[in-house]
Structure 1
Amino acid sequence: MPQTNPALSSSYPTSYYAATRNDTCQRPALAESLEADVCVIGAGYTGLSTALHLAEAGYKVVVLEAARIGFGASGRNGGQLVNSYSRDIDVIERNHGPELAQLLGDMAFSGGQIIRQLIEKYQIECDFKEGGIFAAFNKNQMKHLEAQQRLWQRYGNNQLALLDGGQIRQQVNSPAYCGGMLDLSGGHLHPLNLALAEATIIESLGGKIFEESAVIGIERSNKPLVRTAHGQVRCNTLVIAGNAYLGGLVPELAAKSMPCGTQVITTEVLGEARARELIPALYCVEDCNYKLDYYRITGDFRLLYGGGVTYGGGDPASIEKFVRGHLEKTFPQLTGVKFEFAWGGDFLLTLSRLPQFGRLGKSIIYAQGYSGHGVTTTHLAGKLISQAIQGQSEGFDAFAQLPHYPFPGGRLMRVPYTAIGAFYYGIRDKLGI
């Protein structure tokens, strides 16, 4: 079980994950000129998955990370393997046609499978546990889950079980829910330990990773040149995988996406008996609200609880105050429980809530904007990018067909417009519509 050590948080945000990470070594900053088959910007899940799959195929790969491995959403998230995309397959079919829906639907459960395969193949220690629950507050949300079960079964997920009011209370000891759905193909894990393990695998396969190596310039050509403050990489293919932490490095990507913050806490250690009184089978849980809450039991039997959205990124004045009201409403028996860690982090939102894949010329490829479904979809994205670089681009090109819409009013108005929409859906949540 993980042992917490706040000193390990140095240069990472102070979080439960940083304090319980298995790998405490720091990679060097780039301070030389290198050549590579592929250079990857960003050592989050998209970049790591890409680099790992390419390294397995024998490619010479260099990864440049502005901060530390898993510094962004990949090392701060709720740790849940949630299937499909932030907008589900039925929305894709309605908006983009049955042919594209079939292509993307066939891959909707692949991300979790990729993670499981990596954990098994490389014996990754990341507190992985099977199973996730979607929890419904009202009858309308249960109708949605019934439709979701039928939809997912059409695309091969037969590990789903609907839960009535009595059954969900057996799984989640909370008075809040009227029912739910158990997805045994879901699960949860320690996300930073997964990211760090993937980095070690990449290095064992000959790849190079440099931390504290922010990219300050890209020379776009048939063989892109990527510059940092003290070094550079010339490559055959450049992969841009910075997501919410890319900043303005690639303006055309920033214009069609928006960083959004979410907040997480972990309680003091509850002990196994008390933890299982809350969630007996230790499944992870997310509710069915538009602005949803998510939670799970960690490897050392704390409750990890997160939720909320701050549009444009950043955190509220008090994460603890914000999360406590939600947690205690879900689990009144934990009223007054001690919080030992509280942190926030940004994910990247798109207007369609669907990921953005594409190319910038012949030699630059990117994927971003998972809109809250990043743990699984990033791993799929990395595999698809790897395949595209190797000349098998069918899966990547299917995602690249999705249009990339700009936010109304551009970057100046994207936050207020999106906040107005979120307020509307928040009212719908409260009214049970």
Structure 2
Amino acid sequence: MTAAYAYAGNGDHTTSYYAASANTRTLRPALKGDQTFDVCVVGAGYSGLSTALHLAEQGHNVAIVEGARIGWGASGRNGGQVVNGLNASLQTIKRRYGQDTANFVAGLVMEGGDIIRDRIKTYDIQCDYKPTNLFTACTDAHMRELEERLALWQGYGLNTQEMVSKDKIKDYVGSDMYAGGMIDHSGGHMHPLNFALGEADAFEKNGGTIFEMSRVIDVNYEAARPVVKTETGTITSKTVVLCGNAYLGKVVPKLTSRVMPVSTQVMATEQLSDEQANRLLPTDTCVEDIRYILDYYRLSADNRLLFGGGTVYGGADPRDIEAKLRKNLSKVFPELANVKIAHAWSGNFALSFSRVPQMGRLNNNTYFAHGYSGHGVTGSHTFGRILAEAISGDASRYDVFEKVPYIPFPGGRMFRVPYSIIGSWYYDIKDRFGL
């Protein structure tokens, strides 16, 4: 591990299935010298790529600065599930922030998925996209929760979901574990790293510039024209957008305590036969249960089961990822109890205490977005568009999110991990006993 990339090893992608099956390994040059752009985006994950691509399409001169490789963090490691909504429910948002805010959020919870599908079509991004996602219920209490969620969403005019009874759940999942579920026909799943790489290519086709292996060590956002500094260069711009999320670290101290890094794990089996794959997931949808600490899984394009779950508050990697996940895999699919695991990896997402993503400014020309709390695939793309709108002069949607109150973790950085662990124990007990 070098000093330059202490947070990212040597800066290369983790040893995931996605990295092993990436469409391209092209390395962009590092930032060198002093350069000037209209907009500098820090972070080449989904938030940064979405914001930058929208801006480049509008004619802005944009650079992305990435400390490692494109999609190195959560954007290239996640479960690949295109799930609508935020972590916090519409009911929670209504209770905390009022009906007007809930109406606003309901109007954009499906936008991120639409942006993803539009990008895939417009730029012919080869990322193995497949439609629909399924939420599964492990208990009757979970089924009631899903029924309430369905009714809530329909009350806002969102009608892409339908319940799946216990008798019908095996049409979708070859497991005896579930009491039913709910399918979302507007969800989907994809190869997340290849999608990020495709967005990067699209950004460059629109005139954008990407600097990889360029770890940001300082951001002077108090200057009239903010300056982003790496170890080998600087970028001075009219506007900076900070999209480091769980991996921004202490570069911008004002943002460090706003979110907590949380690691989640994924593993990929060896290739399964067509017969076995069809038996496990007959409709090739992606699945996640609705427990507090959930399992999520899907088939890859080459018939591997990608199975994820578990959380480690604070962002540490488990010593043995396979051992951590195999127990739950065997519960869901007993026939895979002894299946060979070809890849296993871990990665961090940024958790906000409210489970609502945060968007704001440190001054008039330095924006940030983070804290998707496990729903970043779609949320980051919606936020990227909203940030681009604000930078281009239309701050109407940005202003709504900026006004959502920020709720700090109780006890601050020192106690956020133990507080979250205790909370997870409580919800795990409720899930286990069907409460």
TM range (shorter): over 0.9
Partner of 2:383: 381
**Letter of the 2:57 counterpart:** E
User: Which residue is 1:226 aligned to?
Assistant: 228
Q: What count of residue pairs does the alignment treat as equivalent?
A: 425
What is the CA deviation profile of residues 322-358 of structure 1, one whole-angstrom value per residue up to 9, with x for unaligned ones?
1000001000111200100000000000100110110
For residue 10 of structure 1, report the CA deviation from its aligned partner: 8.4
Gaps (5+ residues) in structure 1?
1-8
Letter of the structure 2 residue corresponding to residue 35 of structure 1: T
Question: Tell me, which stretches of 5 or more residues in structure 2 are unaligned?
Answer: 1-9
Q: Which residue of 2 aligns with 1:173?
A: 174
Match of 2:430 in 1: 428
Query: In the alignment, does 2:369 pair up with 1:367?
Result: yes
The match for 2:304 among 283, 302, 305 is 302
The aligned counterpart of 1:209 is 210
Q: What residue in structure 2 maps to residue 70 of structure 1?
A: 71
| Counterpart residue number, 1:18 | 19
1:310 Cα deviation from its structure 2 partner:
0.1
Q: Which moved more, 1:219-228 or 1:104-113?
A: 219-228
Larger mean CA deviation between 214-223 and 52-61 belongs to 214-223
Deviations 1:67-111 (A, max 9, x none): 110000000000001111000111100111001111111111100
One-letter code aligned to 1:51: A
Quote the Cα distance in structure 2 between the aligned partners of 1:145 and 1:400: 30
Deviates more, 1:13-22 or 1:212-221: 212-221
Q: Report the alpha carbon displacement of residue 156 of structure 1 after superposing the two structures with TM.
A: 3.2
Contact preservation (8 Å) 1:359, 1:366: yes
- Establish whether residue 311 from structure 1 lines up as the match of residue 313 from structure 2: yes
* Alignment match, 2:283: 281
- What is the match of residue 135 of structure 1? 136
Q: Are residue 86 (structure 1) and residue 87 (structure 2) matched?
A: yes
Contact 2:218 2:251 in 1 (8 A): yes
Quote how far apart the aligned CAs of 1:412 are: 1.1
Structure 2 distance, partners of 1:157, 1:114, is 17
Greater alpha carbon shift after TM alignment, 351-360 vs 152-161: 152-161
Structure 2 counterpart of 1:3: none
Superposition pairs of residues 30-429 of structure 1, within 5 angstroms: 30-220=31-221, 221-429=223-431
Report the more deviating stretch, 403-412 or 204-213: 403-412
Query: What is the CA–CA distance in structure 1 between the aligned matches of 2:395 and 2:83, rounded to whole Å?
Result: 25
Give SS of 1:307's match: strand
Q: Tell me the SS of whatever aligns to 1:360.
A: strand
The DSSP-based 3-state class of the residue aligned with 2:288 is strand
Question: What amino acid is the match of 1:229?
Answer: E
1:4 corresponds in structure 2 to none
Deviations 1:135-180 (A, max 9, x none): 0011111111111111222333222110111111111010000100
Whole-Å separation in 1 of the counterparts to 2:273 and 2:370: 38
AA partner of residue 273 (structure 2): G
Shift of 1:395: 1.5
- Describe the SS at the equivalent of 2:30: coil
- In the other structure, the counterpart of 1:6 is none
Write the deviation string for residues 224-257 of structure 1: whole angstroms up to 9, x where unpaired.
0111111110100000000000000111111121
Task: Give 1:318's aligned amino acid.
Answer: D
| 3-state SS, counterpart of residue 63 of structure 2 | strand
Q: Match of 1:55, SS? A: helix
> Within 2, Cα distance between the matches of 1:363 and 1:237?
5
CA distance in 1, matches of 2:49, 2:110: 19
Task: Give the root-mean-square deviation of aligned CA atoms.
Answer: 1.1
State the SS of the aligned residue for 1:274: helix
Quick one: which amino acid aligns to residue 186 of structure 1? G
**Are 2:171 and 2:283, in contact at CA under 8 Å, matched by a contact in 1?**
no
State the alpha-carbon separation in 2 of the partners of residues 16 and 426 from structure 1. Answer: 29
- The one-letter amino acid of 1:19's match is A
Counterpart-to-counterpart distance in 2, 1:387 and 1:340: 42
Identity %: 48
Q: Distance in 1 between matches of 2:363 and 2:248?
A: 19
